[in-house]
Amino acid sequence: MSVELRPMGITCNIACMYCYQNMHRDAGNGHSGYDLALIKHKLELLDEPFHLFGGEPLLMPLSDLDDLLGWEYNRNGKTSVVTNGILITEEHARLFKKYNTSVGVSIDGPGELNDIRWAGTLEATRKATAAAIQNIDRLLRHGIIPALQVQVTKCNSSAAKLPLMFEWLRQLDEKGIVSMRLHILEIDNPEVRKHYAFTPEENIEVFEQYLALEKTLGHLRFDIFTDMKQMLLATDQEATCTWRACDPYTTESVTGMDGQGRMSNCGLTDKEGINFQKPDDQGYERYIALYHTPQEHGGCKGCRFFLACKGQCPGTAIAGDWRNKSENCSVWKYFFTLHEKNIQHEGRIPLSLHPQREQLEKEMLQQWTQGVNLTIASLAAAYKQYIK
């Protein structure tokens, strides 16, 4: 389990047009002051590490940030923060180095490629983007290699913009950046879909170009492609939670905590702008239902990639209804098929083509009915004679 600690709630210094937290802002929820002593007490009870999240966590006063990171470092020997990168100073960089901080930077590219991460005016937006780009270099100078998180949109990946994007990625690769998470845009607003989102067919074309680019880079890898291969090889212990079956009312992989120690779920699955109280138990009805529901009705019945994909993240479900499979189903099928062929060319058998796939599916369903969510790796261990 990962704890997303949000001491500043959803308060942010910019207003990304696609931000999934906008529903909370529109509803007037998600803003709270913080009590460091209470936060620490709650975290001790959970006995789990946390990563600082937001909104924008670097809006915290530097002294409080020092206090919190130092406390976590003494507990676990490392810390983590996700930021838009705009507010990073030399003092922040020194703290991150001191407390062995993994830094994730959410940014969609330099200059105009990042305009969707709006700061009020075009001038302010470009200034904020330039600061974030400079601060990535600042982190690198301090020996901190950030992992980047990028939303793939028409703003940064249209035919006209991709050459600029890919040149930036080549520069990052040369600087030693090794990890980037590419996101298909999660859409909660029809205007965002209209102006910034690609169709499934366009996403396939765009992500194909990212995959082709990755093969030319020396260091930088896009974890979405790594994850998909791991799922098909039953080596999913480190795969992103979006592939691992998630009860949208429990989100076992992510626990949110605000500045008053109140716990909630992963915000990606929340479509109502309310931080519902986090329950103790989880259920996997979504995945049992998807397995039996025909694909033309929003399910996954008969799909050979079901164990690997599981309908993907409920936050991207068709029509925003978690009971459906992801609206990006055709995109995932396309790339799972590519990975399937590549694995075969390597002389291995992908999970999707294993002679025991149906037995594994039935065993996973049985585990889900008992409230147990296994990794494919642990499930396949019982069938190891078939796994190559």
∠ CA 242-43-94, nearest 5°, is 85
Q: Which amino acid is at 194?
A: K
- As given in the structure block, the two tokens for residue 71 are 């406390």
Task: Reduce the DSSP state of residue 277 to 3 states and report it.
Answer: coil
pTM of the model: 0.93
Give me 90's structure tokens: 């030399």
What pLDDT digit, counting tens, does each position of 216-229 carry? 999 999 999 999 99
What DSSP state is assigned to residue 317? B
pLDDT digits (tens, 9 = 90+) for 245-265: 988 888 888 888 899 998 888
Confidence of residue 271 (pLDDT cuts 50, 70, 90): low
CA distance 345 to 113: 37
Element (H, E) at 27: helix 22-27
pLDDT digits (tens, 9 = 90+) for 301-339: 999 999 999 999 999 999 989 999 999 999 999 999 999
C-alpha neighbours within 13 Å on the C-beta side of residue 1: 17
Rounded CA-CA distance 200/327 in Å is: 8
Is 288's pLDDT higher than 90? yes
Helix (H) or strand (E) segment spanning residue 359: helix 357-369
> Quick one: pLDDT at residue 250?
85
pLDDT band at 59 (very low <50, low <70, confident <90, very high): very high
Residues contacting residue 239 through CB under 8 Å, at least 6 positions apart? 227, 230, 231
DSSP state of 273: S
Q: Which residue has the tokens 């790594």?
A: 226
Check pLDDT > 80 for residue 388: no
From its phi and psi, is residue 11 left (phi > 0), alpha (psi between -120 and 50) or beta?
beta
Mean pLDDT value of segment 364-378? 93
Res 384: pLDDT:
61
Which residues have a Cβ under 8 Å from the Cβ of 296 and sit 6 or more positions away? none
Q: What is the CATH number of domain 2-243?
A: 3.20.20.70
CB 377 within 8 A of CB 235: yes
